[in-house]
Every structure is written in C-alpha cells, then in structure tokens.
Amino acid sequence: MKIILLGAPGAGKGTQAEVISRVKNIPTISTGNIIREALKSGTELGLKAKEYMEAGKLVPDELVIGIIRERLAQQDCQNGFILDGFPRTIPQAEALERMGVEIDKVIEIYVDDEVITRRMSGRRVCPGCGASYHLEYKAPKKEGVCDNCGDTLVQRQDDQPETVRERLKVYHEQTAPLKSYYAAKGKLFVVEGQEEVADTTRLTLEALEA
C-alpha cells in the first residue's frame, strides 16, 4: 500500500505514520526527518536546506524530489510506504507521478490552525537524546529537564511562534492545493484530528480500510 499523509505541520502526521507503519508493516518516509538528519551530520544536503528550514520555508523542490527518488528506490519500499511530509507542492506531486509511483490513498489529518499553534508552542525537545515533551500534554517530571538524560530541554527553532505562523502560511499557500489535486483523482480521505491521539488513530485506520 502506498499512502500519503497530508496535513498542516503539527497536525500529528508523524504520530499516525508510526501506527500505520506498524500495522501495515511498511516504512515511513519523512522528508523532514531526512533533512534534519542531514543537518545534524553536516552533509551538503543539510547545508543547502538549513536556511529554508530554520525560516519555516519549503526547501526547493529539486532537493526534496532527489531525496525521495533515492529513498523510494531502496529495497524496503518495494511493498509500499507512507509518505509523511511529501509531496508538499503540486510540482512535487507531479514528479512523484513521473517516477511511476501509483498512490493508493491520501489521508489528510485536519486540525484547526489555532489548535496547531497551541500544540507547537508547547513542544520541547531534548538536544541530547531527542526525546519530545509538551508543556501541557506531556510535561517532564522536572521543569525544563529531560526525564531520560537530564539535559536541558529546548524549543526547536522552527517551533518558535513566528516560525510556526510562517509554516502555516506556507502550508495554506503551497501544500493545501494538493487536497483538490488528489480529491479530483478520488484518492483523498479526510480525518478530523481529535483531542485524544488514540481516537485520531482509530479514524485513520478506518479511513485506510474504507
């Protein structure tokens, strides 16, 4: 099964991707994660993407299309995959088609902008071990300190309020048009993101079987 997860940044695509990946036994390909890894290890890709990412802008299409082409050619993608964070523009979707990739379903996880802003502004991460926290929903035992490794928690540069606003603007302008693009092909299924993660998961799995 070849699935695309669509939705604003912070809508919970990554969380749902983890579950689908387990249930369907197919890998999740997240361009955001691939770029963050490249940034951490200081590769050429990371250097090229850094400025865009930190400003909340999209990385140029050619770069991400190249990443996807390489990744989908790997053996573990032969029985299907979940795309989380790709495509994010119409040209990226067209490039995917030109690669001969036939998508089965596009699932949009819909969450209101206001809810997203609140969720993202409370997110904190540990620079040491990568653990993720939330001031409201998943607070660390001691304020500002990682439960796992004791490191001081930080806010991701692209989770800063003004960057979140920019990312949402970019989403509405450049990514949201993909909804009608896939709806016209009869592939779009919309899942309303719920307060409880487990409820969103149930609806997402139902949409997959529909």
Our answer to whether residue 123 is catalytic in this structure is yes
Strands 2-6 and 105-110: parallel
CB of 9 to ligand AMP, least distance (A): 4
Our answer to whether residue 179 is catalytic in this structure is no
- Judge contact between 96 and 71, C-beta under 8 A: no
The whole-angstrom separation of Cα 83 and Cα 5 is 6
Q: Find the catalytic residue in 105, 156, 179, 187.
A: 156
DSSP letter assigned to residue 196: S
CB of 164 to ligand AMP, least distance (A): 10
Our answer to whether residue 156 is catalytic in this structure is yes
CB of 142 to ligand AMP, least distance (A): 27
Alpha-helical runs (H) found in 102-144: 113-121
Q: Find the catalytic residue in 13, 71, 119, 124.
A: 13
**Site of interaction with ligand AMP (CB under 6 A):** 9, 31-32, 35, 52-53, 56-59, 64, 85-86, 88, 92, 158, 167
Q: Find the catalytic residue in 2, 119, 123, 124.
A: 123
Question: Which residues fall within 8 angstroms of residue 156, CB to CB, at 6 or more apart?
Answer: 123, 125
Query: Which residue numbers are catalytic?
Result: 13, 88, 123, 156, 167
